[in-house]
Amino acid sequence: MNQSTLIWGVILILGLPILSVILGEAIEYLQRQGNPLARFLSNIRGLIFPPLAILLVMRHLLGLPDSNLWAQVVETALWAATIYTAISLLNGVFTTGKRKIYWQIHVPNLLFQFARALVILGIAAYVLAQIWKVNLSSVFAALGIGSLVMALALQDTLSNLVSGFLLIFESPLKVGDWVKINAHEGEVIEINWRAVRIKTIDRDIVIIPNGVLGKDIICNYTMLDPLHADRLYINFWREDSPDRIQKVIQNAAIGIKGILSDPPPDIRIQSFEGYETKYEVMYYVDNYKELESIRGEFLTRIHYATRRDRINIAVPTRREFKFDKEPDMGNPQVQIMESLLSLSYFNILDRVTLEQLAQSATIQTYGVDEQIVKVGEFDAAFYIIIAGDVRLSVTDINHQEQEVVRLGGGDFFGEMLLLQSEPSVVSVTVIDELKAIAIAPDAIFDVVQRNPRFALEMNQFIDSRKKAALQAKGTHSQEPKSYSSSLSHLKSSN
């Protein structure tokens, strides 16, 4: 036995098993980490090592020549395993979707498929030329004429393929972009060698061939800058003050998730049309996919805000009513008075006082998710719920929103305005369309000054709500500040 045979025998007996064990440990570690390269190492050990060991035995221990049929078959199997393993390496290093590991490289799907095809064709050409001794030049020459015929038959397919590569290098869009192509608008979900697929807002899939895409105009809403300006056009009657309208719409935009505060919404007069004034409302979003829902919520907020502020949206319709007798349209103050009389905590007040409160109150309506009161800000009015529900909430020590309590018909909030130097301890958000009585601060404060028993009852409500807020925050071990002293001057004034 010569020295070369001995060395190869040691490599086969000791080297490959030791390397296989090392790879097994590495594979187990990478699998626990969720690393995509675990599959690559597993293919090396399970697919490449067996034919490699057999080929080394044939060549270096048995001395079989390269022209031996069985040696050629085994070497072909080895290179076939190499193709599969190389593709698994590409699958681990490159990705066409979301990265599983931070170091993965994101590439377009068309380029990824091209790289895989290049690996397969390159190794297949080597196997044919070097192992099976096929003259590839004659094969290519024979395919020349056939390729011309195929090119003519597949010119549309080749056009799509070439256009696909041009799209990759120019990169006018990528997966996740929101685009408009012709009349089709949607999110790009796939780019391949033949076509681009987009999902519309109606969740329909539109397939656009690359050849068509290369000749068309592409409007990319999210490329380079994710900000997008949306415009609404609303007509109001001309007797309503423009400054007031602009302020109401500006306030309606505040707090809507998705509408950016920087740059701020811009409201301006567009034109005058008869008795109407047309306004353009421009606002910015950074998530185009949610534009429809953001626009719908904004219009809902404008509807409720304009109703509360007695601003009239001009509607180009005509309605005619006929009555057999003069209709009783109702008096809001009468409805307010009836509501106040039905509330137990107002029983200690005389009718004259309640009538004064009713004269200074209005009925206001709020839509779902509107935030009427924000923690840390001063209450704008004393609210009594006629219909609907609200949620009182605080932010806990972990910066998570926690619900304090839910209020419904007959309940009230905004009591912190009685302590003129104290902001609200809770946020109040509508969870079901709200209809509420809003009593002006001066009116309710005057009632408290003149009615010590009512002041004491309000003080108890304030203390109770403060304790509930502290408990929701996670600081219930602390005793809340007593407001008895804060209202004592109101009682002593009598």
Query: Which residue, of 309, 344, 368, is where some domain finishes?
Result: 309
Residues 209 and 267 in one domain: no
Domain boundary among 224, 259, 280: 224
What are 158's two structure tokens?
């080749």
| pLDDT value of residue 282 | 95
> Residue 205: which domain range?
153-224
Q: Give dist(CA 44, CA 360) in Å, integer.
A: 83
Between the alpha carbon of residue 409 and those of residues 34, 415, 443, the distances in Å are 54, 16, 22
In terms of domains, do 213 and 239 share one? no
In a domain, 350, yes or no: yes
Whether residue 52 is found in the same domain as residue 111:
yes
Nearest of 217, 183, 215 to residue 201 by alpha carbon:
183
Q: Between β-strands 94-95 and 105-106, what pairing exists: parallel, antiparallel or unpaired?
A: parallel
CB 196 within 8 A of CB 109: no
Beta pairing, strands 427-439 & 382-395 = antiparallel
Using the structure block, give the residue that is written with the tokens 């049929």.
Answer: 69
CATH assignment of the domain containing 292: 3.30.70.100
Q: DSSP for 231-282?
A: EEEEEEETTS-HHHHHHHHHHHHTT-TTB-SSSPPEEEEEEEETTEEEEEEE
pLDDT reported for residue 187 = 92
CA 242 – CA 83 distance, rounded (Å): 71
Q: Looking at the structure, do residues 239 and 361 belong to the same domain, yes or no?
A: no
Residues 338 and 463 in one domain: yes
Same-domain pairing of 267 and 339 = no
* Residue 317: inside a domain: no
Q: Are residues 170 and 237 in the same domain?
A: no
Final residue in a domain of this structure, among 172, 193, 224: 224
Whether residue 217 is found in the same domain as residue 237? no
Q: Which residue carries 């509501």 as its tokens?
A: 339
- Judge whether 483 lies within some domain: no
Do residues 183 and 212 share a domain? yes
Confirm whether 336 is domain-assigned.
yes
Question: Could you give the number of structural domains in the chain?
Answer: 4
- 157: burial class by Cβ within 10 Å (0-12, 13-18, 19+)? middle
Residue 116 lies in a domain: yes
In a shared domain, residues 244 and 218: no
Consecutive 10-residue averages of pLDDT for the chain (494 residues): 77 88 92 90 93 90 87 93 93 84 81 86 91 80 58 56 64 85 89 84 88 82 86 91 92 89 92 90 92 93 90 70 49 84 85 89 91 91 93 90 91 88 91 92 89 87 89 64 41 39
Tell whether 147 is covered by a domain.
Answer: no
- Residues 248 and 234: beta-carbon distance below 8 Å: no
CATH number of the domain where residue 349 is located: 2.60.120.10
Give the CATH number, domain containing residue 180. Answer: 2.30.30.60
What's at 151, amino acid-wise?
A
Same domain, 183 and 203: yes
This model's pTM is above 0.85: no
Secondary structure tally for the chain: helices H, strands E:
16, 16
For the range 331-337, what are the long-range contacts, defined as Cβ-Cβ under 8 Å and sequence gap of 24 or more?
332/362, 332/363, 333/358, 333/359, 333/361, 335/363, 336/361, 336/363, 336/437
- Residue 458's pLDDT is what? 86
Query: Does some domain include residue 129?
Result: yes
Same domain? 18 vs 53 = yes
Angle at 406 between CA 420 and CA 300, to 5 degrees: 85
Asked if 394 contacts 444 with a C-beta cutoff of 8 angstroms, the reply is: no
Instruction: Examine residue 209 and state whether it is found in any structural domain, yes or no.
Output: yes
CA distance 51 to 74: 6
pLDDT for residue 28:
92
DSSP 319: -
